[in-house]
Amino acid sequence: MAELMYWEAIRRAHDEEMTNDPLVICMGEDIGVAGGTYKATNGLYDKYGPERVIDTPISENGYTGLGIGASFLGVRPIIEIMSVNFAWLAMDQLFNSAAKVRYMSGGQLTAPVVVRSAGGTAHQLGAQHSARMEKVFMSIAGLRVVTPSNPRQAYGLLKSAVRCNDPVYINEHELMYNMKGEVPDEEYFHPLVGSEVAREGRDVTLFGYNISVHWCLQAAETLSKQYGIEAEVIDLFALAPLDRAGIVASVRKTHRAVIAEEAEPAVGVGAEVMAIINEECFFELDAAPVRVSAVNVPIPYNHTLEKAAIPNAGDVVAAVRKMLGK
Amino acid sequence: MNLADKKRLLREMLFARRFEERCYEAYVERKIGGFLHLYSGEEACAHGVLEASKKGHDYVITSYRDHVHAIKCGADPKKVMAELYAKETGSSKGRGGSMHIFDVEHRFMGGYALVGGPFPLAAGMAKAIKMKGGDEIVICFLGDAANNQGTFHESLNMAKLWDLPVLYVCENNLYGIGTRIDRSTAVIDQYKRVSGYNIPSAQEDGQDIEKVFKAAKKAINHVRSGKGPYFLELMTYRYRGHSMSDSNAYRSKSEERMWSNRDPIIMLRDRLIEAGELTGEDYKAMDTEVLDEIEDEVIAFAESSPEPRVDELEKYTLAENDPWVYGGGR
């Protein structure tokens, strides 16, 4: 099994799917000649040409809609929106066209597009380049939302998303493109539904997704070594639909839940996971579930303030200690 | 366009008019819900352009004033009316409604409620055609007010940049809901606005179906020959308000009279009568036949059709049993 960086895994998935099916194309700002801001499409322009690796104008709603229209006639576009902050501009086409066309046509038309975007707070990018929008996407009926926490998922989720007949939004992270991890050498399709047990434990479940899975894993190590607490870590790689059964199974085992999210708390992944726990296994809880979320501010430029706005592994440790009184 | 064609088109336009008027009645009777946008007055636009296209071959897309375009593409009027009646037998199985008529089998790719929404979708379908190497084209009908949305500019730019086979037809009825074009739009002549994207364009009388047909032939030939997009502006007028909830109080009687004197159906009828190809009696008989067909077949079908089942509420939200959702079943 080879070690690949997150961006290399995404690039490999593009390459394989474009070789497999001549109707798979990719499009976005600077993805062709320039190779992509995060190199996810590096080299593909030379290999597949300008008809299939399309440098678009800076017209997010326009080119997203163009990709959706192409998908009506069997083309499989992988659309890169350079930064999730710009995806606000494409919401009309994503929500009004892609997510709804199957339903409002009575199943006659589908929009099998993949939209990938880099989200999250990186290093001092300021308020308009630090959005975490997954909670917006996951609330829309007709859209699947996945978010890879490692190169294996980044590769396998994109592979499945390209072939799936639904529109899929893939939430990546600015800080994760250079993360290394093992990716199977043979072709691998990751399920677009479910969750993964990233670490087994018995005392508390830490729910994370994308970058917050790593905070949870780090926190679990600290909790084990310093406090004798064995935390289970659940990786919610699928945000829409959420893995109800997986969430409940782990809470039934540990009876405690902490949800770590990089986004602001309101109407978010944490709120949704807590609601599922309340609905399904409230009486099996030994403590009230807790969210570890961002502070509800536009992300500041100042580095100290920025760090204070976003949670980290230490915040997860503190939440668990408080919950267990240790 | 020969005489037989003209007679057929007269009947088709008359059918469209009577269909829309019958929708109005059904709406008042509360048989039809939601929003209802009627096409009466604009019939020569859809019929003239689509008569010049390859039926069932070219792809058609439009916004929410979509019943007549769908029927001209080949959609069964019974299914369109059943959709308005929110029945399971409707073209979108009662899930879409008036604004979302679809008939993909006849390549009518839908009605969309965001006025500028179809601009990029049309360009995208044209991109797919170009990739696959077919000689189909995409025809996108939208209103003048849609041209003030960003998708107009974004899509025209890309359509020309990549020379995509798409014909944009602007049905300029002079009003965006209740706001007259000169109060919302800096450039009144819409065909002039696309010169900034180096796209050839023309403006034509949208009430005269023969003129529309001729202008559309030229436009379609341009697009089908691989020269890229074309923009055709048709000057027209809707007789009803924007939707049924529109009191239509913003237009003067004299303006309405001026346009009803140039009714597309009456103009074609009188031309045929003048040429000795039709009598007033023939026309009356045609009208009776159309009204009977709408009542006895179209309305009867919609009335007698079943409602969708509540246990199928979530059907069509996502693909069913798609193996790739589960990792390809490998």
Cβ of B270: how many Cβ atoms within 10 Å? 14
Which among B97, B124, B155 is the nearest to A67, CB-wise?
A: B124
Task: List pLDDT tens digits, range B128-182.
Answer: 999 999 999 999 999 999 999 999 999 999 999 999 999 999 999 999 999 999 9
> How does residue A18 score in pLDDT terms, banded at 50, 70 and 90?
very high
Q: Where are the beta strands (DSSP E) in chain B?
A: 59-62, 108-111, 138-143, 166-172, 175-176, 179-180, 201-205, 230-235
Predicted confidence (pLDDT) at residue B245 exceeds the cutoff of 90: no
Is A61 within 8 Å of B154 when comparing Cβ atoms?
Answer: yes
**Interchain contact, B109 vs A163, CB within 8 Å:** no
Write out the H or E segment, with its range, that includes residue B302.
Answer: helix B300-304
Domains and CATH numbers, chain B: 3-323 (3.40.50.970)
* Dihedral sign for Cα atoms in the order B176, B182, B187, B189: positive
Interface of A with B in 130-189 (CB under 8 A): 141-142, 144, 156, 160, 163-166, 189
Q: How big is the A-B interface in CB pairs under 8 Å?
A: 178
Measure Cα distances from A54 to A51, A74, A91 in Å: 6, 17, 21
Pick from A74, A109, A191: CB nearest B326: A191
Q: What percent of chain B shows pLDDT beyond 70? A: 99
CB atoms within 10 A of CB B249: 7
A129: annotated active-site residue: yes
Same CATH topology for A2-183 and A196-324: the answer is: yes
Secondary structure of residue A76 in the 3-state scheme: strand
- For residue A195, the 8-state DSSP code is -
The pLDDT confidence band at residue B71, using thresholds 50, 70 and 90, is very high
Q: What CATH homologous superfamily does A2-183 map to?
A: Thiamin diphosphate (ThDP)-binding fold, Pyr/PP domains (3.40.50.970)
Judge: A61–B151 Cβ closer than 8 Å, yes or no.
yes
**What are the chain B neighbours of A64 within 8 Å (beta carbons)?**
120
For chain A, the distance separating the N- and C-terminal CA atoms, rounded to the nearest angstrom, is: 40
In this prediction, residues B64-86 reach a mean pLDDT of 98
d(CA A237, CA B133) in angstroms, rounded, equals: 38
Q: Stretch A224-239: mean pLDDT, rounded?
A: 98
Q: What's the mean pLDDT in B211-229? A: 98
Average pLDDT value for chain B: 96
- Over residues B274-328, the pLDDT tens digits come to 999 999 999 999 999 999 999 999 999 999 999 999 999 999 999 999 999 998 8
CATH code for the part of the protein at A196-324: 3.40.50.920
At A1, the pLDDT band (50, 70, 90 cuts) reads confident
Q: Quick count: other Cβ atoms within 10 Å of Cβ B283?
A: 19
Share of chain A above pLDDT 90, in %: 99
Phi, psi of B61 (to 5 degrees): -145, 150
Interface contact flag, B120 A142, Cβ < 8 Å: no
Give the one of A73, A96, A191 whose C-beta lies nearest to B128's C-beta: A73
pLDDT in tens, A207-229: 999 999 999 999 999 999 999 99
pLDDT at B329: 62
Nearest-Cα residue of chain B relative to residue A194: B326
pLDDT tens, position by position, A164-178: 999 999 999 999 999
| Residue scoring higher pLDDT (B229 or B248) | B229
- As a dihedral over the C-alpha atoms of residue A308, residue A313, residue A316, residue A320, rounded to 10 degrees, the angle is -140
Measured between CB atoms, does B154 come within 8 Å of chain A?
yes
Using 50, 70 and 90 to split pLDDT, how confident is the model at B244? confident
Written as six digits, the tokens of A141 are 């009926």
Q: Minimal Cα–Cα distance from A281 to chain B, Å?
A: 25
Closest CA of chain A from B312, distance in Å: 11
Q: Which residue of B has its CA nearest to A74?
A: B128
Q: Which of A8, A17, A29, A60 is catalytic?
A: A60
- Label residue B246 by pLDDT band (50, 70, 90): confident
Quote the CA–CA distance of B50 and B73 in Å, as a whole number: 7
Q: Is B127 on the interface with A (CB under 8 A)?
A: yes
To which residue do tokens 């905070």 refer? A215
Distance from CA of B230 to the nearest CA of A (A): 17
Q: What is the pLDDT of residue B330?
A: 47
Pairwise CB contact (< 8 Å): B319 & A166:
yes
Distance CA A59, CA A147 (A): 24
Share of chain B above pLDDT 90, in %: 96
For chain A, the average pLDDT equals 97
Residue with tokens 């001092």: A124
Q: Which residue of B has its CA nearest to A89?
A: B150
- What average pLDDT does the segment A119-144 reach? 95
Mean pLDDT, residues B9-33? 97
